[in-house]
Every structure is written in C-alpha cells, then in structure tokens.
Chains A and B, each alone.
Chain A
Amino acid sequence: MIDRALIELNKTEGIKGSMVVGKDGLVIASQLPGNIDAELVGAMASASFGAAERTAAELGMGNLEQTMIEGEHGKVLMVDAGEGILVVLADAKVNLGLIRITMKRTAEKIKAMF
C-alpha cells in the first residue's frame, strides 16, 4: 500500500526517489534508486529529522513540518507522516512548490495507512 503511494509520488517531475522511515529510522517502504543504501539513508533521515524537530521545539517553533537539505546536485525533503517520515530525493532544480504539495498529500495518505 505505502509502496504504491511512493510509486505514484515518484511520477512527479524532478523526484528521483522516495521512502518512508519510522521516526527511529526503520525503513517501512522504499522506492529509491538501486545504488542507494536505503537502511543507511533511513537512519540518517531519522537522525536529521529528529535533530530538526528538537531544534524547532527548543526555539519555540512548534511541531516540525518539513526539513530540506540542499546539495549542489540535489535536494532531500522530509515531511512528518505521523509515525513515520516521508523522505524525497529531488533534482537540484525543481518546482519546490509542486513537490511540497504532492508530498503533503502523500504524507496524509501514509498517516492513514499506519
């Protein structure tokens, strides 16, 4: 079920892959390019999302909605999906607005599946 939602999400222009990891980094579902170590990326996503969550809380910013890592050759976006985190790998030059909307919709679907 979650895999199907990710396959659908990956059809969005500029998205190279996506995954859902538990807040503890356990890979629930993954539709990432074959050369990526999903388990390792899941663990890193959990640590970076967790650190961002803690920073937002410490600064009184409320619940964390999204984090983004921007690299020279691509972006990683993470949004809260209830018990899990929805992680998306995107090209460097993408329509961020469109991706954010699509991710939000997918995250809602995932929340309902947990």
Chain B
Amino acid sequence: MKVSVYGAGNQDLYVNQLKLPEKFGGEPPYGGSRMAIEFAKAGHDVVLAEPNKNIMSDDLWKKVEDAGVKVVSDDIEAAKHGEVHILFTPFGKATFNIAKNIVEHVPENAVICNTCTVSPVVLYYSLEPILRTKRKDVGISSMHPAAVPGTPQHGHYVIGGKTTDGKELATEEQINKLVELAKSAGKEAYVVPADVSSVVADMGSLVTAVALAGVLDYYSVGRKVIKAPKKMIEHQIIMVLQTMASLVETSGIEGLLKALNPELLIKTASSMHLLEEQKDLDAALEILKNLDEELKKEAKNAEIKPTTLVAAQSLVKEIKTLIGGAAAEGAIKRSARKLFEH
C-alpha cells in the first residue's frame, strides 16, 4: 500500500516536555515519524512529508530513512504518492490548510485521515466544496493512534466509519484499507462512527472517561437508590452536559467555573453520595476542594457571557421542521465548521 504521512511529530514535546521515555517507555522518534517507520517495516511504500527538518535530530532522521521511509519537504509531492494520507499535523487551522492544499492532488480513490484534535466530520465539512464537486472519489476518515506512536500504549488505531446518522464520508473499501493498514502494522483497528472518533480517541478522551463515569454513577444511584424514572435521569444528564458545554463555548473554562460555583457544587454533590462505593464522586469532590489558587483567581475575574442553553437535538428537529432537512443540515455543518475550524 502507498502511504503518505504528514508531520514527523514534535520530538521536543514528547521527549523533553512530556518525558515519554521515562513515563511510558519506547524510544524516539515518536509521533508521525514512528507511524511512518512502522508502516514501512510492515512492507508499505511510505512517504513522510515534513517541511521543518529541525523538528528532529539527524540521527532520528537516519532511523526514519533506514526503515525505508522516503522523506520529503513538500506536501504536494507526498499528496501525489499515497492512496492513504495521514495528517499528523499541528493542531487547528494548520491541519485544515494542509488538507485543502493536498486534496486536489491525491490519486483517485485516496482517503485522507486526521489524527489528533480534528474531527473527521469537521475535516469533511471543511473540504466539502471540493469533495462534492471536483473530487467525489476522495474519502475522509481518521487513522487516530489514540496514544503516542512509539510508546508501548500505542497498540491500536481508531478509524472513523459511517457517522451516527448514516453518512459515508469514506467508502467501505477505503475504510477496509485503513483497517488492513492498521492490522499489517500489528495494531488493533477500532472502527467507530466518524462523529464519535475524536471523543474517544483524542486527548479529550480524559474528559470523556471522567464524564462518562459521572453519568454512569448518577444513573446507578438514580435507578438503584432514588428509584427515579429513567427518562428523568436522562433529562438531568442532558441538562448538565449541555449546560457545561454551552458555558465552555461562550465563556471558557474560567467562566464555566465561575458560573458553576465549586463551593456550592461541593455541598450539593456531597449529598448525592448515596452508595458506599462512589470513587468517582470522592475524587471529584477532592479535586474541587483543592482547586488551584491561580485558577480560582482567574475564575473570580471571569465574565459569564450570554449563553443559549439549548437542547441541541430537539433544536435540530425543530429547525428541520421549519426549513427542511437539507437546509438544516447545511446550517449545522457551517456552524460546526465555524466553531471547530478556526
């Protein structure tokens, strides 16, 4: 298989700041360059595009090239090579710019995959004018390592499949190609809905894990102890998650903290300690009691900006009723792009 990887990975971040060799093990190079090495060792024809040669030392570049990876500095050269394109690129706008730069040059039926912090769905929206007109053959998915390549924890890839509402951003054949690529490198392949992949694979999975534990804890207490109706519990969970998400969107973490008032929250949440074992709640209360002083100060000075606390799915249903499915979907796409692309 012909594979193009974009971005070697910031070795200074991995080795000196995160201290991965000491904490997790493995050895440099970490990141995109390690992915490229592993794919090449699995017998694939791999090109690694990295415009910044200084991102790694010469001995690390030698390791990459000794594995059989062709290193180029030009994204377009890499674009013309691969049937699979993996963006191990900097966070945010840079990734979208690289994707827009390469999409018209990739071979027929190629698939472009994100890795960190970009949702394949938002990447699709961002490229949609081209994907729906000039390059209908190109697929979008994710080839998310969901750990740092090069560490022992990286034993899997998260691949974005059909979205939860059934949209195919990539063909079945393109998805299968990614599964095959992951397996050939000795990794487990998890195909998950494309709109869920970032939530379980990105660094934000920390939030997902903790929030999910909280949701399940309340579900358990609500059903077993309080014996509340399932619908009521679900409504309260929706209210909590939507309120928190909306506040983060308008007012940032500091505004969220100010609006939620940790002192008050400790008092109310303590009274929900109704089972003997509620380790997640114990941990949460402990964290809230010992908040960082700097963060508290920032929260005190924060502004809670006007926030529309909406029931997202119900709102979508209402808009679809008023202006129709296609127009509503367009509005949703544009708002997602505005929120996440810039």
Contact = CB atoms under 8 A, between A and B. Distances in A.
A27 interface: yes
Interface in A1-31: 22-28
Contacts of A53: 324
A43 B330 contact: yes
B97 to A, nearest CB: 18
Contacts of B333: 24
Given A22-B330, A28-B133, A50 B128 contact: no
A54 interface: yes
B335 to A, nearest CB: 10
Nearest to B332: A24
Interface string B117-135: 0000000000011001100
Interface majority SS on B: helix, strand, loop or mixed? helix
Nearest to A45: B327
A54 B330 contact: no
A60 B133 CA distance: 34
Interface string B320-342: 01111011111101100000000
A86 to B, nearest CB: 15
A27 B330 contact: no
Interface residues of A, number: 15
Contact of A23 (B129, B321, B327): B327
A23 B326 contact: yes
A43 B328 contact: no
A43 B331 contact: yes
Interface string B244-262: 0000000000000000000
A90 to B, nearest CB: 23
Contact of A22 (B321, B323, B326, B331): B326
Contacts of B330: 22-26, 43, 46
Given A22-B132, A23-B330, A49-B327, 12 more contacts: A22-B330, A24-B326, A24-B327, A24-B330, A26-B128, A26-B129, A43-B330, A46-B326, A46-B330, A50-B323, A51-B327, A54-B323
Sort A-B residue pairs by CB-CB distance and give the 7 closest, nearest first: A50-B327, A24-B330, A23-B326, A25-B330, A50-B323, A50-B324, A46-B327
